[in-house]
Structure 1
Amino acid sequence: MALAADSRYLKRGFTLVELLVVIAIIGVLVGLLLPAVQAAREAARRMQCSNNMKQLGLTLHTFHDVFNAFPRGDSPRAAGDGYMYVQSHALISLLPYMEQSNLKDTPNVSTDWYDAAASSDAELTVVPSTVCPSATNGPRNPVDLWGPSGDEIHSPGVGVPQFGAMHYAFCKGINDSWAVDWDRADQQAAGFVLAADGRRGKGARKGYLNGPIPASEKGMFNRASNTRFAEITDGTSNTFAIGEAAGGDAWPLCRGVNCTDPVFNGQRFPANTGWLIGQPGDEDQPDVLGTNAFGCTMERLNKWPVTDSYMALGGDRASQQRDTRSSANGGLNSTSNFRSQHPSGGMFVFADGAVRFVSETVDMVLYRNSSTIGGGETNGL
């Protein structure tokens, strides 16, 4: 009887089945909670990304207030080999208005970005406003086009070059050519320069093939040209200025418009770029893919794999760089599409400084119209 009475006080533990049920319930709760946590984190990252883009938009307006024009898309440099190299691009002009004057004053940053990257550690500097927290390639990332497999820039003390990331791209519009207003006579013109206001030196003459890029194809940022508010006839609230340009392993590159194969020469090249880089790839680096600080709407938002930015020189550097035809009209060049790590779309800075999210399923006609400064389209995103 004593033994029976004592048995009433024995404590009963969990059975194996009960323990498994508890673990399963906890697993379900964690599974339900995790997407909410991830969504909250992405919302915070997206807000920071939007704030960075708003700062870029404000900087553009400040620059326009000072110079009565937006910065030139790029500053070309004529070379003896018949090539117009990109010596700097729009972001370099904006640095003093982003509290980065010292960076702009680094030797060669404003005059020859390639020399600046090869001879200093300027490319390693991270410019906070050019980094989107959602992007997986940053705040520094390798760029194969200018690395050991490409054009052999080596960062001092680093070996494989690392660049401060650039997760945004200046809008070139629909036109994906790399045309610049020049010809052979420009190189021979006495005192040939492209001044800060975009004027050519004395004696230079227009050298476009197939006419200048029409306003219905032209974005706010093009080679050797400044855009003013007055030229944005479609309305500043309807016109892209800057869009997202994510990179990393999630965004491999492919060669040429309508390309679909993310493997090139047996490897993948991520769509990485740095804030310093304005130069696209060309036939001097045929085995490496790259992109730069520009994007266009020839192809859809978030196209995967990403089209590379490439000058197909066609054996004649001088004439090909005067060819204004887009790839849709027979041109040989390509410019990378906009892409974003944010789900289902990407953010754009408009010419009025506003930042808005654009769905990746947006109508292509409306999407392309929103990237040009003229053309008479009145419907905006």
Structure 2
Amino acid sequence: MSKGRRALRAFTLVELLVVIAIIGVLVALLLPAVQQARESARRSQCQNNLKQIGVALHNYIQAHGTLPPGHILDPIAGDDEGHWVWTAFILPYVDKAQLYDRLNVGNAQASTALGLNTEEMQARYNTFRCPSDDGPNAFDSGYSVTINGTSISAIGYTFDANPGSDNTGVSLTNYVAANNNAYVRAYKASDPNDGVSGATGVFYENSATKLRDVSDGISKTVFAGERYYSGGGNNLMLAAMMLAIRGNSSPGNGPTAQDKSGNSASNQGMTSYAGTSHWGINPPLTGNTSQNMAFSSSHPGGAHFLFGDGRVAFLNEAIDNHFYTGGGTVDSLFERLMSASDGQIIDQF
């Protein structure tokens, strides 16, 4: 060996362990940043989804003069059968015109359409799903997720697909319509400041809200917001896409009495597509299934909301909200944003 060439020396075990330790530290430092970047991308996609829904709502308004109905009550539908909801009516405006025509939305009975087009009505539609939520594509009684080591069974709504009574699940969505500041209500409030007398939001049964009806200003009124599948060891129930249950009793596979508004059968099943400010954002879950009507998200600290002017804002879960302590009166910031014509104009938001 020449004197100018140094002999190669292998790593010692100690040196190798030091190198592995350094690499481990670097990975540990980088992993949160990678996860944060991924969540940021998912959050941006969720925001974009709501923006697309906002554009679709305005295109619907241009075509029909009003917002789509929260749901259309089908007077001949049975307890386990469905009723068309707002997400079905905007399908042509989110590049789903062929699906809309095939389902014959608003003309065919909803449950009949489900029986004839089950695959399409159980598919996952990314425009209506937050990428941060790992809930199922459609409600499936056999589905479960594991949260912090605890297995959580599926929760949702099933429908009788005509002809038959096979309790069929439908596609789910993370985006629910703004309905009220108190419990969900099927009818418009007689007093726009009192969510007990009816819905103070823009969507409810057979609603046909015009932009001029939103007297508080569309830029200061929430039209829709997020709801996630599960969290904190409990499910918060994604909304049902295209169909909602609205019957006269409590079917075994449908909503329970706690899903009704003041135990009134006329409001049964509203939580399957509508949300309220009643429980705030990301409420601390207590096992009360009425909390299923809350807005929530998989994003830390709050949830995205679509305003009437098409703007999407992330509202902090600590937003001023009197929950149910105000007896249904619109008297806090979140309640004012949820209500369309309470007359309490928000100067800056």
TM category, shorter = 0.7 to 0.9
Match of 1:215 in 2: 192
For the 8 Å contact 1:148–1:154, the answer to whether it is kept is: no
Q: Classify 1:97/1:108 alpha carbon distance in 2 versus 1 (closer, same or farther; 3 Å).
A: closer
> What is residue 198 of structure 1 aligned with on the other side?
none
Deviation at 1:273, TM superposition (A): 3.6
CA contact (8 A) 2:225 2:304 kept: yes
2:267 pairs with 1:300: no
Residues 60, 94 of structure 1: 8 Å contact kept: yes
- Give the aligned residue type for 1:225: S
Deviation at 1:306, TM superposition (A): 8.6
1:59 equivalent to 2:56? Answer: yes
Q: For residue 370 of structure 1, what is the aligned residue in structure 2?
A: 337
* Distance across 2 between alignment mates of 1:142 and 1:72: 23
Give the corresponding residue for 1:91: 87
> Post-superposition shift, 1:142?
2.7
- Secondary structure of the residue aligned to 1:368 is helix
Closer, same or farther: CA 96–10 of 1 in aligned 2, 3 Å: closer
Gaps of 5+ in 1: 182-211, 253-261, 263-268, 311-333
Alpha-carbon distance between aligned partners in 2 of 1:162 and 1:287, rounded to the nearest angstrom: 11
Residue 169 (1) aligns with residue 167 (2): no
Deviation at 1:367?
Answer: 1.1
| Match of residue 50 from structure 1 | 47
Q: Does structure 1 residue 40 correspond to structure 2 residue 37?
A: yes
Aligned equivalent of 1:276 = 242
Over 3 Å counting, the alpha-carbon distance change for 1:166 and 1:213 in structure 2 is farther
- Which of 304, 317, 332 is the matching residue for 1:347? 304
User: What letter is aligned with 1:298?
Assistant: H
Over the aligned positions, Cα root-mean-square deviation in angstroms equals 3.7
Q: Tell me the alpha carbon deviations over residues 225-250 of structure 1, each in whole angstroms, 9 at most, x when there is no partner.
A: 21111111111111100101121x43
Q: CA deviation at 1:164?
A: 3.0
Query: 1:148–1:160: 8 Å Cα contact kept in structure 2?
Result: no
1:1-381 to 2 correspondence within 5 Å? Answer: 11-79=8-76, 87-107=83-103, 109-110=105-106, 111-121=108-118, 122-138=120-136, 140-144=137-141, 151=158, 163-180=170-187, 212-216=189-193, 217=195, 218-247=200-229, 249-250=230-231, 262=234, 271-279=237-245, 283-285=250-252, 291-305=271-285, 336-364=293-321, 365-379=332-346, 381=349
Conserved 8 A contact 1:251-1:306: no
Percent of residue pairs bearing the same amino acid type: 28
Deviation for aligned residue 1:162: 5.5
Larger radius of gyration between Structure 1 and Structure 2: 1
CA contact (8 A) 1:233 1:374 kept: yes
* CA shift in 2, pair 1:251/1:100, >3 Å: farther
Letter in 2 for 1:67: H
* Contact 1:77–1:84 (Cα < 8 Å) also in 2: no
Q: Which moved more, 1:10-19 or 1:32-41?
A: 10-19
Change in 2 beyond 3 A, CA 1:150/1:232: closer
* CA–CA separation in structure 2 for the residues paired with 1:283 and 1:377: 37
1:283–1:366 distance in 2 versus 1, CA, 3 Å = same
TM-score, normalisation: structure 2: 0.74
Contact 2:281–2:295, Cα closer than 8 Å, also in 1 = yes
> Compared with structure 1, are the counterparts of its residues 154 and 308 closer, same or farther at alpha carbon in structure 2 (3 Å cutoff)?
farther
CA-CA distance at 1:130 after TM superposition: 0.8
